[in-house]
Amino acid sequence: MITFPWPPKELNPNNCSHYHIKAKKKAIYKDLWYWTTKEANIQKGDFRELSITFFKPNRRWMDLDNMLASIKSGLDGMCLALEINDRCFTKITIEIADTIGGMIKVEIK
């Protein structure tokens, strides 16, 4: 299981930031996930399942599909580090934890 930081607000699909700002944040977030995955030292394998748990930074209501869209660039960085294509995942489980934490935990099976 790998723990990643919460995405910046500019990566939310409902955010109206200028596309240059959004692109820069996406690149930084992708790079962050890439290096965090590399540091986790996960052995290459035939991955099929992905389990994502969101630990929200506060108690405000958040839309699950927007949270998933916010981490898309991060998932790309993780897959790049593992040298796999994200379309290899046949099952993706997404959930919101009851506790606050401002992080995302990803388990690859």
pLDDT digits over 40-79, tens only? 998 888 899 999 999 999 999 999 999 999 999 999 999 9
- Confidence at residue 75, expressed as pLDDT on a 0 to 100 scale: 96
| CA nearest neighbour of 72 among 46, 15, 35, 33 | 33
Averaged pLDDT, 93-100 = 95
User: Which amino acid is residue 48, in one-letter code?
Assistant: R
- Confidence at residue 43, expressed as pLDDT on a 0 to 100 scale: 85
pTM value is 0.91
* 17, two tokens: 């930031």
